Structures are given as C-alpha cells and as structure tokens.
Amino acid sequence: MNNKLSGWDDTIVALATPPGVGAIGVLRLSGSKAIDVANAIFPSKNLHLQPSHTIHVGSIKWEGEVLDEVVVSLFKNPRSYTGEDVVEISCHGSPFVQQRVLDACMAAGARLAKPGEFTQRAFLAGKLDLTQAEAVADLIAAQTGAAQKTALHNIRGGFSTVLAALREQLIRFSALIELELDFSQEDVEFADRTDLKNLVRQILDQTNELLQSFRLGNVIRNGVSVAIIGKPNAGKSTLLNALLNEERAIVSDIPGTTRDTIEEVLNIDGILFRLIDTAGIRSHSADAIEAVGIKRSLQKRREADLVLYLFDATDTTPDNLLEATHELEREGIRHLLVGNKVDQETGGNLKFGQNTLMIAAKTGMGIDTLRQRMVAAVLENASLGENVVVTNARHFHALQQVQQSLQDVLSGLDANIPGDLLALDIRRSLHYLGEITGEVTNEDQLDFIFSKFCIGK
C-alpha cells in the first residue's frame, strides 16, 4: 500500500456524530497511537491490555480534571474500519463536553482528521476499493430507499464485482495479443481475429449497459424535477396538495440542487420527485394572468425532467389539448397528460387519448395511478432491482473512456493493425477501469474524492 501519502503515520481524531446537542456524541481515534492517546485521557484501564472488540466504562481525565463519564469501544488493527487501531469514545452529547474531550485527545498527540480521512485510510489499507468508499458517502447521503439500496449494494462490492469481471476479460484478450507479440518473427496468429472481435464486442456491450444505467443512477441519486403546468384554474395547486398529502419526503439538503427554486419533495417508491416552482403554482392561482403563467411555464418545463400537463376536462376538447401540448411533443419533453375534474358531470365525458390520465384532484381520484405513472415515466423499462447502477459521474466518465478505447480496439482489428498497437488500446481501457476501483490513483484525485465526505467518516 501507498505509505507515502501524507498523514499516514499520525493518529487522527474527529467527532463522528453531527455537531450539536444529542444524547451522546462519538469521537473516533484512528492510527498507530490511538490506544496511547486513549490511555492518556482514560485512566480507568490500560486499553493495550484489553482484547479487541470490547467496550469499557470509565472517565475521561485531563490535567487532573474529570471531563466526562464515557464508554470506550476498542478495535485493534487490523480488525477495524480503517485497518488501524481505532478507539471510539461515546461522550455525553454536549458540544462543550465533546470539544473538551476532543481538545484532550489532541493535547495527548492526535490531530484533527480531514474530511473522509477515516475512509481514505480504510481504502489505503485495502479494506475497501474506491467504489466501495464512495458508496459509503452515498449511503450517508441517502434520502430514499432506492439510494440506500444502491449504495449498500455497492458497499458490499456489487459494482466492484462487475468491474472485476470486465477487467478479467480484458486481461484475457491482452494475454492473447501479447502472446502473439512474443512470436511476432514467426508471423503466427494465436488469437483468432473473429474470436477477438467477439470478445471485444461482448465487453463493449457490458460497458454500454453500465453507461446506460447512469440515467437511472442519476434519478436515484439526484431525484427527478417535476413541473406541473397548465392553464389557470386547471387545478394545479389542488393537485399539488393532493400529491403532497401523503408523500411529502423527509429531506435535508439535496446535493446539486438549488434550494430556492425547490420547495416540495415527494418520495414515491423510493424516488425523489422535486416539484419545481411550487410558489408559482400557488401565487398565480390567485392572480391568474395567463400571459405571465405561460411565460413561467415555458421556463419551468425546460428545467424539468418531467412535466405534468394538467387540464380541466370540463372545458377542454381533445383538439384544444393537442394544440396546448403540441410544443411539449415537438421539443421532446418527457410529459404526462392529466385531465382533471372528472368528478364533475361535464368532465370525463370526452374521449382523450389512451395516454391521458383522468383524475379528480379534489377528491383524490386517480392520484395513486398518477404516482405510478410518474415512477414508470422516469424508470422507463429499468427496475430498481439488484442490477448494478452507475450513480457516480466519475465512474460514468471513466467508463466512457473505457468504451472509447474498446471502440479503438475494434476499429484496429478491422483495419488489421499490428498487435502491439492493439495491446496499447487494451491497456488504455484497463487503465480507466483501474481508475474507477482505485487500482490506478494519484494523490490529488484521492484528496478530491475524500474531501467531499464529512469530517469523522
């Protein structure tokens, strides 16, 4: 392993629980001196003499003063998260007390950990590969069942296994080519060109499949932005309320989104639907100036991944509808047509196309079906099963490079280029695969990846 990376030898400490008042707060120490540091402030027992995976009750004492009564958990190397000696101190959850215990740890020889440094050490110790480490951050950020499931699958090595299989096939291919190079004087072809092409095509197919899963990955990771548009009085704010009634999601900060335009988030079947410009919906039902409404909705639907076009079925003809939605069709905007107020006698009589869903926002009729259609519209044919889904832009870009180099191999085979050139392209694709799992890394890249973690993880 790479011991040259900065800070490898020192012992780090950080608060692993969120800042603020809680029942307990956990401080985590990791490094070759973690037990020495803990012993210096926890005089109750000599932790060096205690077995790994044990917990101990006692007090934290520094410079003659008792700071807290704590529980200490001991994980001796290599059986710990980081692979180093790890001591976790559960203090009382006062930020003041936690800070004093943290200060005592630092006075006793630990230094404050950088964001993600515990996980970075776990990676450097070979406990996790890079995709697994990144999945740890994803799991911490997970806000829905789908995000949780994907992250857990990847922590357990789901993505790594798929990549390892790709890698193995590529190595097999390159072994065949290199064998040929060894015998190049004799002008033999060990590797049948048709077989080689088939093998590369197969690997390309798998790479393409992974690349395609990124669309779903994005949905899982970032959610889907939805705009409800339609004429004034169509029932948009009524629909908004009906949707929000049951499914309002528990969310904190969603990475990569601007909070000021997003006010409401739904969690439907584990997917986050962010309803954009809900303030606009609410205000212009009171102040219904159509021109303003149309301008606003034009803007909205460009920002939206999915548009719900709502119309009042009691005063809309199929021709009106066609006209109103012509532009959505033309611009290829993903949308659902929703006819409202079918509870009224004049509503629901008209025949709209099969693609049009009829609801009554006021009574809740059809809302469940609408939810299902919203999910179906973003999942298309994909399912949130055990399949590996690429959720990370870094992985996506590296896979694009793999794809490009494999395509170069294919055209090389077609053009009958010499084996040593083919071998170069193959090595290039292996390089990019290695970047994903972290077999190929540089310090800057690692620092960048781990800096996005929170402190203490």
> Residues in the site for ligand GDP, rule: CB under 6 A?
230, 232-238, 281, 285, 340-341, 343-344, 360-362
**Min dist. Cβ of residue 254 to ligand GDP (A):** 25
Instruction: Using the minimum distance from each CB to ligand GDP, give the nearer residue, 196 or 313.
Output: 313
Instruction: Using the minimum distance from each CB to ligand GDP, give the nearer residue, 113 or 360.
Output: 360
User: Alpha-carbon distance 440 to 129, whole Å?
Assistant: 11
Instruction: Using the minimum distance from each CB to ligand GDP, give the nearer residue, 366 or 456.
Output: 366
Instruction: Using the minimum distance from each CB to ligand GDP, give the nearer residue, 308 or 436.
Output: 308
User: Alpha-carbon distance 352 to 356, whole Å?
Assistant: 6
Backbone angles phi, psi at 166, to 5 degrees: -60, -45
Query: For the residues of 303-320, what is the DSSP string, one character each?
Result: H-SEEEEEEETTS--HHH
User: Alpha-carbon distance 125 to 355, whole Å?
Assistant: 55
Question: Judging by DSSP bridges, how do beta strands 224-229 and 271-276 pair with one another?
Answer: parallel
Backbone angles phi, psi at 275, to 5 degrees: -85, 110
**Min dist. Cβ of residue 276 to ligand GDP (A):** 15
Q: 443 with 124: CB under 8 angstroms?
A: no
Return the H-helix or E-strand segment holding 281: helix 278-286
Rounded to the nearest angstrom, the gap between the alpha carbon of residue 348 and the centroid of all alpha carbons in its chain is 42
Query: For the residues of 316-359, what is the DSSP string, one character each?
Result: --HHHHHHHHHHHHHTT--EEEEEE-TTSTTTT-S---TTEEE-
Q: Is the dihedral of CA 288, 294, 295, 297 positive or negative?
A: positive
User: Alpha-carbon distance 145 to 269, whole Å?
Assistant: 8
**Min dist. Cβ of residue 286 to ligand GDP (A):** 8
**Min dist. Cβ of residue 279 to ligand GDP (A):** 12
Instruction: Using the minimum distance from each CB to ligand GDP, give the nearer residue, 363 or 451.
Output: 363
**Min dist. Cβ of residue 233 to ligand GDP (A):** 4
**Min dist. Cβ of residue 428 to ligand GDP (A):** 55
**Min dist. Cβ of residue 265 to ligand GDP (A):** 19
> What's the one-letter identity of residue 344?
Q
Alpha carbon of 99 to those of 36, 37, 102, 106, 453: distances in Å?
19, 16, 5, 10, 21
> What's the one-letter identity of residue 13?
V
Return the H-helix or E-strand segment holding 276: strand 271-276
Instruction: Using the minimum distance from each CB to ligand GDP, give the nearer residue, 39 or 278.
Output: 278
- How many CB atoms are closer than 10 A to CB 49? 8
**Min dist. Cβ of residue 369 to ligand GDP (A):** 14
Instruction: Using the minimum distance from each CB to ligand GDP, give the nearer residue, 223 or 230.
Output: 230
Instruction: Using the minimum distance from each CB to ligand GDP, give the nearer residue, 85 or 312.
Output: 312
Q: 13 with 27: CB under 8 angstroms?
A: yes
**Min dist. Cβ of residue 223 to ligand GDP (A):** 23
Instruction: Using the minimum distance from each CB to ligand GDP, give the nearer residue, 27 or 360.
Output: 360
**Min dist. Cβ of residue 349 to ligand GDP (A):** 14
Residue 284 CA neighbour count, 13 Å, CB half:
22
Selection from 20, 44, 42 nearest residue 29 by Cα: 42
Instruction: Using the minimum distance from each CB to ligand GDP, give the nearer residue, 176 or 360.
Output: 360
Q: 446 with 133: CB under 8 angstroms?
A: no
Instruction: Using the minimum distance from each CB to ligand GDP, give the nearer residue, 321 or 378.
Output: 321
Tokens encoding 156: 């357990």
Contact partners, residue 355, CB within 8 Å, separation at least 6: 336, 337
**Min dist. Cβ of residue 173 to ligand GDP (A):** 59
